[in-house]
Amino acid sequence: MKIGDKVSWATPQGRTHGRIVEKKTTSFQLAKQKFTASEDEPKYVVESDKTGARAAHAPSALRVLDS
């Protein structure tokens, strides 16, 4: 996975889609929530196509979509 990839992920309302905007390899905070990340276990910040909201997910939570 890389920045710019189109991906989908699960939400309580069902699957949604957007793009990867950042790869995090150190611990960080997003929307008042703390995340632990490392080189071995990165987190990806994604931006929703529908709402523009940003969220962080582990690679296992994301599905890369065809461009």
Model confidence band, residue 66 (pLDDT cutoffs 50, 70, 90): confident
What would the pLDDT profile of 9-65 be if each residue is shown by its tens digit?
999 989 999 999 999 999 999 999 999 999 999 999 999 999 999 999 999 999 999
Burial class of 6 by CB neighbour count within 10 A (0 to 12, 13 to 18, 19+):
middle
Measured CA distances, 16 to 30, 32, 41, 44, 47 (Å): 19, 22, 23, 15, 10
